[in-house]
Amino acid sequence: MRFVIIGNSAAGVNAAQELRNADKDAQITIVSSEKDMAYSRCLISRFLDGRLKADGLYFKTRNFYHNYNIKPLLGKTALSLDRPAKAVVMADGEKLPYDKLLLAVGAGPIRPKVPGLELPGIFNFYSLEDARRIMKYVKDKLVKEAVVVGAGFVGLEAAYALCKAGIKVTVVERCAQILPAQFDHISSEIIREDLESLGIEIILDESLTSVNGESAVESVTIGEDTDIACSLVIFASGVRPNVLLASEAKLNISKGIVVDEFLNTGDADIFAAGDCIEIEDAVTGKRQPSATWFNAVLQGKFAALNMRGEAKRYSGAIGIQNSVQFHRLAAISFGMSQIMDEDLDYEVISHYNKEQKIYKKLVLKDNLLRGMIFTGDILKAGFYAALIREKIDVGAYKHKLLEPDFSYAYFRKENFGQVGSYAVTPSCWQSPSWFAERSLCMGIK
Amino acid sequence: MKKLYLRIERCSGCKRCELACMDEHRDIDADKPRTRIFVESINERPVPVVCRHCKDALCVSACMAGCMQKDQNSGIVSNQGYLQKCVGCWMCIMACPYGVISPSDNGAMVDNASFAQALKCDLCPKKDTPACVSACPNEVIELRDIQE
Ligand SMILES: Cc1cc2nc3c(=O)[nH]c(=O)nc-3n(C[C@H](O)[C@H](O)[C@H](O)COP(=O)(O)OP(=O)(O)OC[C@H]3O[C@@H](n4cnc5c(N)ncnc54)[C@H](O)[C@@H]3O)c2cc1C
């Protein structure tokens, strides 16, 4: 079997590993435009501020390709797919024949169209190479002030890292809150305060109008006429699934590459996984780009099984599942996190302690948890997320859901597909006078 | 594969398992010891909750640093002891259905020296019997070898 994988990241690498675990003899090739060996994109901000070196970003080890007998073609771009010939045509003309192909090409950064984009000093924040270029520019030009466009995840990570490097950072966001896709107003305000306490300036409700400068970036204009001096601009204004290869090969495209529950594209020999695909969100039922590391890894693993013909259904994808900690504050959002009290069809249970910066919110509908936000205290967040993902009826516990003693213990018969860890409980344990009789019940003399 | 197995009717809620767990992991936790076994309760009856060292563990798939791994031989799922280092991103905390992974104190992350760590059960690799099992006076917790 010849397996070709385009994309050397979360989805592609985990697929390759899974393929090798299941098939000792297959030929496995991984192609990527990026030169670097498999690294975690999510960690490039920690590289930018110097907390990690490049090898601290490798999510497999340096010897991965060798140990798993995978042929890496790094720094090489796939130009097109020749479906009739079952080959990937590379930019350098080489043709890679495949029996099964995986598109794990991710999502690429997009920028708003404003004047001045050609000026030196403007960067994306998507790859390790971007981070290296930014570091070099900062050093060469002695950058003291920077503007980050977009207060999503990526923008705030970049802002935090630049700030740690001693640069004065201003973040410009066109929505009325930071993290507009993941968090609600209250939690986003708590996180904003945490970032502002470091000296990061965050401007909301404003859009970038232009980038200005003679021969390099000198300032940006926001709104009508507000200028902010800076010599570095980072665009973190969103990503879009890389669908070009698939669309030119006449595969089905919508917001991302369209795949069935076996992660197949409709061509029996071509699969797709990770940020490049569109998923049906298990909570909202809506179709949206996949967009998270966790989804990409799971999809990579499932795609591998299906490429081997094992017909493993992939389901339960969740579009919003994020954990953040920029500075002091940890926060997690999951599922329909942005529903507020006033959304009639939903019930919202929340608890907000302003002093301690602890905010917890649960969103319910028809006795099912649909979304959550935990800010300041993220303990047991995964348990709530599992109740959401697995659609477990919590009707009997509504009054208790945010009590400190609410935990997995209540659902201990629910094993989430794992081997159980509890013995059958004798009936004496249920008795109202259990405490008095406990030594008997415990079998202790 | 080794796993903890619980007989909750024997549990008196003394939390000696939690104390032993904190004590055992002092070197990782530094200034603020944390337990990896949790004596929760149902209507005031104690119920310990433990890590299952899952097959196809979600914490492993969620980990964006690649440090959370399942050892092929022992079956132990841990984020410590690998080349990849935990950076305190909390993806595993979001992924674990049992809620048994917790964040270490944030101080480490803020002062830049190192990253805060996700703390979880490692079945006490330095010991034959995990600390919680030894500490339990009522034999609630048992270490079993199970075929996955
Ligand atoms: C700064 C930053 C922080 C992030 N933080 C988080 C986080 O905290 N949590 C989270 O869940 N997610 C986070 N993400 C998103 C996460 O990184 C992605 O969800 C994940 O990387 C998706 O993996 P993937 O394998 O689908 O594709 P990608 O990581 O996008 O990789 C795709 C690869 O395919 C290659 N490629 C594309 N087209 C071609 C071609 N034609 N030929 C050859 N190679 C090609 C690309 O060069 C790239 O290397 C973050 C992203 C960034 C940029």
Is pLDDT above 90 for A433? no
Of B45, B12, B64, the closest CA to residue A40 belongs to: B64
Is pLDDT above 60 for A337? yes
Is pLDDT above 60 for A171? yes
Distances (CA, A) of B133 to B4, B22, B53, B129, B141: 8, 13, 16, 7, 5
Rounded to a whole number of angstroms, the distance between the first and last alpha carbons of chain B is: 7
In a 10 Å sphere around its CB, with 0-12 CB exposed, 13-18 middle and 19+ buried, how is residue A115 labelled? exposed
A5 strand-pairing partners: A30, A102
What pLDDT is stored for residue A445 in this prediction?
Answer: 58
pLDDT digits (tens, 9 = 90+) for A279-303: 999 999 999 999 999 999 999 999 9
A241/B109 Cα distance (integer angstroms): 32
Question: How high does pLDDT run on average in chain A?
Answer: 95
Distance A289 CA to ligand 1 centre (A): 13
Distance B15 CA to ligand 1 centre (A): 44
What pLDDT is stored for residue A152 in this prediction?
Answer: 97
How much is the average pLDDT of A23-40?
97
For the domain bounded by A2-107+240-307, which CATH number is listed? 3.50.50.60
In this complex, do B45 and A434 lie within 8 Å of one another by their Cβ atoms? Answer: yes
For residue A42, indicate whether it is catalytic: yes
Is pLDDT above 70 for B107? no
Residues in chain A with CB shorter than 8 Å from the CB of B93 are: 323, 332, 378-379, 381-382
pTM: 0.96
- In chain A, the percentage of residues whose pLDDT exceeds 70 is 100
Is pLDDT above 50 for A57? yes
CA A116 to chain centre: 30
The closest-lying atom of ligand 1 relative to the alpha carbon of residue A321 is 11
Query: Using a 6 Å cutoff on CB, does residue A57 contact ligand 1?
Result: no
A240 near A108, Cβ under 8 Å? yes
In this complex, do A410 and B146 lie within 8 Å of one another by their Cβ atoms? Answer: no
DSSP string, B23-67: HHTHHHHTTS---SSEEEEETTEEEEE-----TT-HHHHH-SSS-
pLDDT digits (tens, 9 = 90+) for B88-104: 999 999 999 999 999 98
B90/A144 Cα distance (integer angstroms): 31
pLDDT digits (tens, 9 = 90+) for A375-426: 999 999 999 999 999 999 999 999 999 999 999 999 999 999 999 999 998 8
Lowest-pLDDT range of A49-53, A167-171, A187-191, B42-46: B42-46
In this complex, do B52 and A405 lie within 8 Å of one another by their Cβ atoms? Answer: no
What pLDDT is stored for residue B26 in this prediction?
Answer: 87
Query: Using a 6 Å cutoff on CB, does residue A77 contact ligand 1?
Result: yes
Is pLDDT above 70 for B108? no
Residues in chain B with CB shorter than 8 Å from the CB of A382 are: 58-59, 92-99, 101
Distance B38 CA to ligand 1 centre (A): 36
Please tell me which residue, B33 or A209, carries the higher pLDDT value: A209
Is pLDDT above 90 for A435? no
The closest-lying atom of ligand 1 relative to the alpha carbon of residue A299 is 26
Give the start-to-end residue ranges of the domains of chain A.
2-107+240-307, 122-237, 339-410, 417-445
Residues in chain B with CB shorter than 8 Å from the CB of A416 are: 97-98
What pLDDT is stored for residue A13 in this prediction?
Answer: 98
Chain A, 15 to 54: residues with Cβ < 8 Å from chain B are 40, 42-43, 46, 51-52
Question: Given the structure tokens 């570095």, which residue do they identify?
Answer: A232
In this complex, do A421 and B65 lie within 8 Å of one another by their Cβ atoms? Answer: no
Residue of A52, A407, A416 with shortest CB distance to B40: A407
A271 near A259, Cβ under 8 Å? yes
In this complex, do A379 and B99 lie within 8 Å of one another by their Cβ atoms? Answer: yes
Interface test with A, best of B41, B94, B96 (most A CBs within 10 A): B94
Is pLDDT above 90 for A438? no
The CATH architecture of the domain made up of B2-145 is: 2-Layer Sandwich (3.30)
Distance A226 CA to ligand 1 centre (A): 34
A407 touches chain B (CB under 8 A): yes
SS3 state at B133? helix
Give the start-to-end residue ranges of the domains of chain B.
2-145
Query: Using a 6 Å cutoff on CB, does residue A13 contact ligand 1?
Result: no
Residue A424, H or E segment: none
Residue of A43, A56, A378 with shortest CB distance to B90: A378
Residue B126 to chain A, least CA–CA distance (Å) = 23
What pLDDT is stored for residue A341 in this prediction?
Answer: 76
The closest-lying atom of ligand 1 relative to the alpha carbon of residue A43 is 3
What pLDDT is stored for residue A316 in this prediction?
Answer: 87
In this complex, do B92 and A421 lie within 8 Å of one another by their Cβ atoms? Answer: no
Atom 13 of ligand 1: nearest residue by CA position: A42
Chain A, 153 to 212: residues with Cβ < 8 Å from chain B are 164
How much is the average pLDDT of B23-39?
87
pLDDT digits (tens, 9 = 90+) for A199-233: 999 999 999 999 999 999 999 999 999 999 999 99
User: What class does CATH assign to A122-237?
Assistant: alpha beta
Query: Using a 6 Å cutoff on CB, does residue A363 contact ligand 1?
Result: no
